[in-house]
Amino acid sequence: MSTLLKIHPETPQLRQILQAVEVLNNDGVIIYPTDSVYALGCSMHSKKALERLARFKHINLAKARFSFICRSLQDIAEYTMPLDTRIFKILKKNTPGPFTFILPASKKIPRMFDNSRKEVGLRIPDSNILNMIVENLGHPLLTTSIIDEDEVLEYTTDPELIWERYQNQVDLVIDGGYGNNNPTAVINCTGGDIEIIREGIRELEY
């Protein structure tokens, strides 16, 4: 059974953040608030946790399309091909924020997932909790929404209901208050033009 850990979204306490980091460093899967809906994730360095994440979503790991939660634009260079100036400016203008940017993947991504993946989703959320977790973890989180498609139910916004539903499937649920019921916008930056795959809680600034 997992733990329900209350963390203040504006002023997270380091002791609580380190508790979440310890779970992640021990192949754990956690659920946490973002700047849109609640999501779940794990350390990018834990193959065991990645496989658990894939089973949670009922998919094969080789077919997984998990996104990376990074702390800043400087962190994404390792996971993407070099970005042109126009794309970089759009990322800079819209991060941190509730966007998932689909970008050309570096050679590191296919090796991680044992596939021929040529793109990667990257998030820099406006979340003090996640920023502190990633900073103290020392590398990005692999993340996916706890909801499927655009389905939003009451239990996906109330952390106590989330914990009741998933307490036997994850190791920790972070209660950072009620989540939003609007999903993250998904922006495809792999082609010549910017393509908005899914509208989200905030409009993209150009």
22-41 pLDDT, tens per residue?
A: 999 999 999 999 999 899 99
**Residue 137 scores a pLDDT above 80:** yes
Alpha-carbon distance 70 to 76, whole Å?
Answer: 7
What is the reported pLDDT for 24? 98
Q: Please report which confidence band the pLDDT of residue 154 belongs to, taking 50, 70 and 90 as the band edges.
A: low
Judge contact between 102 and 188, C-beta under 8 A.
yes
Q: Please report which confidence band the pLDDT of residue 148 belongs to, taking 50, 70 and 90 as the band edges.
A: low
Grouping H, G, I as helix, E, B as strand and the rest as coil, residue 127 is coil
The strand pair at 119-123 and 67-69 is best described as parallel
